[in-house]
């Protein structure tokens, strides 16, 4: 249980090494220089009344309720404690008769402008105005604000209608005290600048920009304003419906790799709201629309809560008991292995489940299945990160914590749009940019990162899809040939032999910006200037996403970035580094847990006898000493008739893999497909066994975010299906003859910490004590490692690797003249399984195709009309959106909606090292369409049949 109310010290902490001494109410205190009187008092247990101050916002000084007195004061005025710093020797009084009298006058003015309806207000009992009125004896019976001597003044803002346009919160202008906390939260915390103050004096009002209401405004529904509001003016609709929560449980968001910590606030054991936790080290009390509001899918009517089985995918599903479902699955898998051999089955761990749940699935495969045919969805997103960073630095993970960005001087964002995919971290980047850091964005699209209120990239490099490697090589070429490298760092930290080879290679003229203009579509001068900016920055940091990894040269590009960062001395200290922005909540964790066919937990090679031996001893089995099949190999083997059974934990391959028709064929070729998920997904349509899974609100375990931070996920409710996911996997192992006998997920973590050296010091107890830790967490770093490679790389000396540019074989031609690249949007998540079952659909659930006006015009395509998108692999239809945010010759879409099935057009081209699919480059043509494509029509019919459930 977490405490419902968090202490608000009124103003932010200040960073200073100096301290000073003073007195507050006669008590001697010592605080950091620059601390406000309000914060100093609060830190010492003295609460000064306040309305406009909050410790996540810069002090503003508008309400004047926080006035104090001190010995050196001159004149008539009393200083506001939120805007006045403590000085050495100051002697402050926070409460006396005079101050109370003045505060009372101020509060009477506030109350005169406020409806006196506390007993019918949804914020009753959770309202700072009410609390302050109470302190000043201005509350009457039933805690209702008392009328004051000013209440007869005519007040236009009373009687205004409530704006309920946003699906998640209301704005009631009547209850607004114009403290401006919401405006400042939107500006300072979120960085969207959607709100403003209109008019003056008594007529001052909060408005969502120039729009009529919140829904039509620039607001992105992060909820920071709602959280900041001290009254019931901005309030969650769930609170209006269900009432003020009475308890809270600390847990972690189940959506993206930022890993925001939340207080799940409950009333009568039902979730009322999710409030981001101020102690969350990844999010510091902030969130995005998905984590804060889009949790309604957890009890959506579509959820499957009973196990189901069937012999053939054309049969209707039949609900059965857990015992029956598990024995049915085990019998089928055992029979397949008898008939087709040990390698004929395998499994997939999920990036959405906990570490413990993922660990136990790969253990099942390596023990009960007796092979290494295990893979995870990271195969199709960040496997090149794992490979590239391991080769160069020695560890398959990002180098920094998120807070490190607040000390970056140059931020290079490449192949990522954190504003939509990692929104809370994007707010942090934007904050740093507003403080003066420089920004380089390399992305074909003009994303929200390139320009938004108070943010403008110093360089936007709209490179052609598939040309990352020549771009990064050109950056390194400039660093080397213009002598912008850090030779001292290289001499001390890096392998000199590989550096010398690389230096010779990268100095070649072929890497000069002038020689890559055609490949990248960029202007050489711009590349040169941007590269100089990165190389000469004091602290330069690289942040990248799937626009880097999902290419045939994804691993080459990761190593290219690592080379550049090492050459310029930008690894191993605060403010710099090479940082993958990992997509799903636990994609880092699923990789850490040994979900790849060639590695055991903690990235320990399966072929190493000693390392594998430790697992064999613990698990009492012989583990095969050769890597198993990757997911794409499993599908190929299925079509070839050699792979017949698969256990899929929470992934929707039929929507998320490239070349969907190939994947569908693979699933149709199998005899036992087991899907463990919340809903009957597209993949579940091809399954023979359905194991109902748990939502993040039911899970007990840990997620590991993009900065290697291991966070606790605590259950808010019992599993609706009656079983935790690790129990399902354990039951399957038992039914297949392998003994597992965990009694809690904490025991599974204990086993992980015994087997994976980077997790050696991790336990639930430690996480409960520290809140979270970043791996490596071991004897050398018992409280974790925020920044990696300090002083020395994990592998010793950093290795430079030659990064030759080999263009993709996927080329545009006369038949397919455009290049398609894919991504995601803010309100939908991944394949949309969860977010399409929330009110987020108000912002649209359909995938659309962004196309440049000139490309649209030559094809006779109008805005918002249906178009056919076809590639060498398949075709689908979707609506076109004409925009200049996309360059000529490039089109863009998302893959959130199964009806579009955008991956029907993507190809099986993949990264040379890891097989990560090349989602980001597909040659396509687009033309106006009259109706859905044949594939879409047939698929809809087929899936409707495959989803029938027998009535019981």
Nearest distance, CB of residue 113 and ligand SF4, angstroms: 11
Q: From the list ligand SF4, ligand FES, none, which binds 178 (C-beta under 5 to 8 Å, kind-based)?
A: ligand SF4
Residue 436: Cβ within 10 Å count? 7
Q: From the list ligand FES, ligand SF4, none, which binds 62 (C-beta under 5 to 8 Å, kind-based)?
A: ligand FES
The Cα 923–Cα 925 span in angstroms is: 7
Q: Which helix (H) or strand (E) holds 211?
A: none
Pick the closer one to ligand SF4 by CB: 206 or 272.
Answer: 206
The Cα 845–Cα 848 span in angstroms is: 9
Q: How many residues does the chain have?
A: 952
Nearest distance, CB of residue 181 and ligand SF4, angstroms: 4
Pick the closer one to ligand SF4 by CB: 223 or 572.
Answer: 223
Q: From the list ligand SF4, ligand FES, none, which binds 720 (C-beta under 5 to 8 Å, kind-based)?
A: none
Interface pattern 277-316 for ligand SF4 (x via CB under 6 A):
------x---xx-xx-------------------------
The closest of 209, 259, 393 to 797, measured between CA atoms, is 393
Q: Which DSSP string do the residues of 478-516 spell out, in sequence order?
A: HHHHTT-S-HHHHHHHB-HHHHHHHHHHHTSGGGSGGGS
Residues that bind ligand FES (CB under 6 A): 50-53, 61-66, 80, 82
Q: Helix, strand, or coil here: 554?
A: helix
Nearest distance, CB of residue 172 and ligand SF4, angstroms: 8
Q: In the 8-state DSSP scheme, what is residue 580? A: E
* Look-up of token digits 């406009």: 52
Q: From the list ligand SF4, ligand FES, none, which binds 51 (C-beta under 5 to 8 Å, kind-based)?
A: ligand FES
Site for ligand SF4 in 200-229 (CB under 6 A): 206, 219-225, 228-229
Pick the closer one to ligand FES by CB: 63 or 905.
Answer: 63
Cβ contacts of 148 within 8 Å, gap of 6 or more: 108, 109, 111, 112, 138
The Cα 645–Cα 667 span in angstroms is: 9
Give the helix ranges, DSSP H, for 404-544. 418-421, 423-434, 468-481, 487-493, 496-506, 517-520, 524-536
For residue 599, with 0-12 CB atoms within 10 Å meaning exposed, 13-18 middle and 19 or more buried, which class applies?
buried
The closest of 718, 834, 897 to 294, measured between CA atoms, is 834
Interface pattern 152-191 for ligand SF4 (x via CB under 6 A):
------------------------xxxxxxx--xx---x-
Q: From the list ligand SF4, ligand FES, none, which binds 177 (C-beta under 5 to 8 Å, kind-based)?
A: ligand SF4
Pick the closer one to ligand FES by CB: 52 or 365.
Answer: 52
Q: From the list ligand SF4, ligand FES, none, which binds 221 (C-beta under 5 to 8 Å, kind-based)?
A: ligand SF4
Cβ contacts of 857 within 8 Å, gap of 6 or more: none
Nearest distance, CB of residue 432 and ligand SF4, angstroms: 17
Q: From the list ligand FES, ligand SF4, none, which binds 65 (C-beta under 5 to 8 Å, kind-based)?
A: ligand FES
Interface pattern 397-436 for ligand SF4 (x via CB under 6 A):
-------------------------xxx------------
Pick the closer one to ligand FES by CB: 62 or 883.
Answer: 62
Q: From the list ligand SF4, ligand FES, none, which binds 53 (C-beta under 5 to 8 Å, kind-based)?
A: ligand FES
**Residue 234 makes contact with ligand SF4 by CB under 6 A:** yes
Q: Which residues pair with 274 in a beta bridge?
A: 264
Q: Which residues pair with 234 in a beta bridge?
A: 171
Q: Of residues 192, 695, 721, 830, which one binds ligand SF4 by CB under 6 A?
A: 192
Residue facing ligand SF4 at closest CB distance:
291
Check: CB of residue 262 under 8 Å from CB of residue 277: yes
Pick the closer one to ligand SF4 by CB: 127 or 632.
Answer: 127
Pick the closer one to ligand SF4 by CB: 35 or 838.
Answer: 838
Q: From the list ligand FES, ligand SF4, none, which binds 63 (C-beta under 5 to 8 Å, kind-based)?
A: ligand FES
Distance set, CA 694 to CA 297, 386, 701, 708, 717 (Å): 12, 28, 12, 23, 10
Q: Which helix (H) or strand (E) holds 691?
A: strand 689-692
Nearest distance, CB of residue 128 and ligand FES, angstroms: 10
The Cα 727–Cα 721 span in angstroms is: 11
Pick the closer one to ligand SF4 by CB: 282 or 886.
Answer: 282
Pick the closer one to ligand FES by CB: 82 or 755.
Answer: 82
Nearest distance, CB of residue 720 and ligand FES, angstroms: 44
Pick the closer one to ligand FES by CB: 55 or 700.
Answer: 55
The Cα 532–Cα 412 span in angstroms is: 12
**Residue 107 makes contact with ligand SF4 by CB under 6 A:** no
Pick the closer one to ligand SF4 by CB: 165 or 228.
Answer: 228
Q: Which helix (H) or strand (E) holds 735?
A: helix 725-735
**Residue 195 makes contact with ligand SF4 by CB under 6 A:** yes
Nearest distance, CB of residue 82 and ligand SF4, angstroms: 15
Pick the closer one to ligand SF4 by CB: 206 or 368.
Answer: 206
Cβ contacts of 860 within 8 Å, gap of 6 or more: 928
The Cα 708–Cα 711 span in angstroms is: 9
Check: CB of residue 911 under 8 Å from CB of residue 388: no
**Residue 253 makes contact with ligand SF4 by CB under 6 A:** yes
User: Pairing mode, if any, of strands 599-600 and 672-677?
Assistant: unpaired
Number of residues that bind ligand SF4 (CB under 6 A): 41
**Residue 831 makes contact with ligand SF4 by CB under 6 A:** no
Residue 817: Cβ within 10 Å count? 15
Pick the closer one to ligand SF4 by CB: 129 or 574.
Answer: 129
Nearest distance, CB of residue 52 and ligand FES, angstroms: 3
The Cα 272–Cα 5 span in angstroms is: 15
Give the helix ranges, DSSP H, for 806-895. 853-858
The Cα 221–Cα 293 span in angstroms is: 9
Nearest distance, CB of residue 260 and ligand SF4, angstroms: 3
**Residue 645 makes contact with ligand SF4 by CB under 6 A:** no
Sign of the dihedral through C-alpha 316, 321, 327, 330: positive
Pick the closer one to ligand FES by CB: 61 or 817.
Answer: 61
For residue 743, with 0-12 CB atoms within 10 Å meaning exposed, 13-18 middle and 19 or more buried, which class applies?
exposed
Backbone region of residue 591 per phi and psi (left: phi > 0; alpha: psi in -120 to 50; beta: other values): alpha
> CB under 6 A: which stretch of 257-265, 326-334, 375-383, 623-631 binds ligand SF4?
257-265
The Cα 89–Cα 21 span in angstroms is: 6
Pick the closer one to ligand FES by CB: 53 or 531.
Answer: 53
Nearest distance, CB of residue 681 and ligand SF4, angstroms: 20
Residues that bind ligand SF4 (CB under 6 A): 176-182, 185-186, 190, 192, 194-195, 206, 219-225, 228-231, 233-234, 253, 255-256, 258-260, 283, 287-288, 290-291, 422-424
């Amino acid at each position: 249980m977490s405490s419902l109310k968090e202490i608000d010290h009124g103003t932010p902490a200040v960073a200073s090494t100096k301290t000073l001494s003073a007195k507050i109410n006669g008590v001697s205190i010592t605080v950091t220089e620059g601390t406000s009187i309000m914060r100093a008092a609060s830190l010492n247990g003295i609460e000064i009344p306040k309305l406009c101050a909050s410790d996540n916002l810069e002090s503003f000084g508008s309400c004047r309720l926080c006035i104090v007195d001190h010995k050196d004061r001159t004149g008539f005025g009393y200083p506001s404690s939120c805007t006045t710093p403590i000085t050495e020797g100051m002697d402050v009084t926070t409460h006396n008769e005079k101050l109370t009298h003045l505060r009372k006058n101020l509060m009477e003015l506030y109350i005169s402008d406020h409806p006196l309806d506390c007993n019918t207000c949804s914020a009753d009992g959770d309202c700072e105005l009410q609390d302050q009125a109470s302190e000043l004896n201005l509350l009457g019976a039933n805690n209702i604000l008392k009328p004051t001597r000013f209440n007869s003044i005519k007040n236009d803002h009373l009687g205004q209608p409530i704006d309920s346009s946003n699906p998640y919160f209301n704005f009631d202008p009547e209850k607004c005290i114009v403290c401006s906390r919401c405006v400042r939260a939107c500006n300072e915390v979120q960085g969207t600048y959607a709100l403003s103050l209109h008019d003056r004096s008594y007529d001052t009002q909060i408005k969502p920009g120039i729009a009529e209401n919140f829904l039509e405004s620039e607001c992105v529904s992060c909820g920071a304003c709602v959280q900041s509001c001290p009254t019931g003016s901005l309030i969650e609709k769930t609170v209006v419906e269900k009432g003020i929560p009475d308890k809270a449980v600390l847990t972690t968001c189940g959506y993206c790799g930022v890993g925001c910590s939340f207080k799940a606030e409950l009333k009568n054991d039902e979730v009322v709201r999710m409030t981001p936790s101020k102690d969350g080290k990844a999010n510091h009390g902030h969130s995005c629309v998905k984590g804060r509001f889009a949790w309604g899918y957890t009890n959506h009517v579509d959820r499957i809560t009973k196990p189901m089985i069937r012999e053939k995918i054309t049969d209707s599903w039949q609900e059965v008991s857990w015992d029956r479902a598990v024995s049915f699955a085990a019998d089928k898998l055992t029979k397949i292995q008898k008939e087709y051999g040990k390698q004929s089955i395998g499994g997939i761990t999920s990036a959405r489940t906990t570490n413990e749940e993922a660990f136990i699935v790969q253990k099942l495969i390596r023990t009960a299945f007796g092979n290494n045919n295990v893979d995870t969805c990271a195969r199709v997103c960040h496997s090149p990160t794992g490979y590239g960073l391991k080769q160069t630095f020695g560890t398959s993970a990002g180098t920094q914590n998120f807070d490190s960005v607040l000390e970056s001087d140059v931020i290079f964002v490449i192949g990522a749009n954190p504003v939509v995919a990692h929104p809370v971290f994007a707010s942090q980047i934007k904050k740093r940019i507003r403080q003066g850091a420089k920004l380089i964005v390399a992305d074909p699209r003009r994303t929200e990162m390139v320009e938004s209120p108070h943010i403008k990239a110093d360089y936007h490099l709209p490179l052609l899809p598939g040309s990352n490697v020549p771009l990064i090589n050109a950056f390194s070429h400039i660093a080397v040939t213009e002598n912008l490298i850090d030779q001292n760092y290289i001499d001390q930290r890096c392998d000199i032999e590989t550096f010398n080879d690389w230096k010779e290679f990268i100095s070649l003229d072929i890497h000069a910006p002038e020689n890559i203009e055609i490949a990248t579509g960029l202007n050489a001068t711009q590349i040169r200037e941007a590269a100089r900016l990165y190389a000469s920055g004091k602290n330069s940091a690289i942040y990248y996403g799937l626009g880097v990894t999902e290419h045939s040269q994804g691993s080459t590009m990761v190593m290219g970035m690592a080379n550049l960062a090492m050459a310029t001395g930008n690894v191993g200290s605060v403010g710099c580094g090479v940082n993958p922005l990992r997509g799903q909540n636990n994609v880092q964790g699923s990789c850490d847990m040994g979900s790849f066919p060639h590695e055991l937990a903690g990235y320990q090679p399966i072929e190493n006898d000693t390392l594998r031996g430790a697992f064999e001893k613990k698990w009492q089995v012989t583990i095969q000493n050769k890597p198993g099949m990757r997911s794409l190999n499993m599908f190929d083997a299925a079509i070839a008739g050699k792979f017949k059974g698969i256990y899929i934990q929470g992934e929707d391959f039929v929507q998320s893999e490239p070349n969907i028709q190939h994947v569908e064929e693979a699933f149709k070729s199998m005899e036992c497909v087991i899907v463990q998920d919340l809903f009957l997904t597209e993949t579940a349509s091809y399954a023979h066994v359905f194991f109902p899974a748990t939502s993040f609100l039911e899970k007990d375990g840990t997620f590991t975010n993009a900065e290697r931070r291991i966070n606790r996920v605590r259950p808010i409710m019992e599993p609706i299906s009656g079983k935790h996911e690790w129990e399902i996997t354990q039951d399957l192992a038992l039914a297949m003859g392998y003994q597992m006998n965990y009694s809690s997920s904490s025991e599974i973590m204990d086993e992980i910490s015994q087997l994976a050296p980077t997790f050696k010091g991790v336990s639930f107890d430690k996480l409960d004590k520290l809140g979270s830790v970043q791996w490596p967490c071991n004897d050398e770093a018992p409280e974790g490692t925020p920044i990696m490679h300090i002083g020395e790389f994990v592998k010793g000396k950093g290795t430079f690797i030659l990064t030759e540019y080999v263009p993709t074989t996927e080329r545009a031609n006369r038949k397919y003249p455009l290049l398609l690249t894919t991504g995601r949007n803010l309100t939908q998540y991944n394949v949309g399984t969860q977010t399409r079952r929330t009110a987020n659909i108000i912002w649209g659930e359909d995938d659309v195709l962004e196309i440049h006006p000139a490309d649209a015009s030559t094809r006779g395509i109008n805005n918002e009309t249906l178009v056919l998108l076809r590639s060498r692999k398949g075709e689908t239809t979707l609506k076109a959106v004409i925009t200049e945010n996309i360059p000529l010759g490039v089109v863009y879409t998302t893959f959130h909606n199964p009806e579009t099935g955008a991956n029907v057009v993507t190809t099986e081209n993949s990264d040379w090292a890891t097989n990560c699919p090349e989602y980001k480059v597909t040659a396509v043509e687009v033309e106006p369409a009259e109706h859905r494509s044949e594939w879409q029509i047939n698929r809809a019919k087929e899936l409707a049949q495959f989803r029938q459930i027998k009535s019981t």
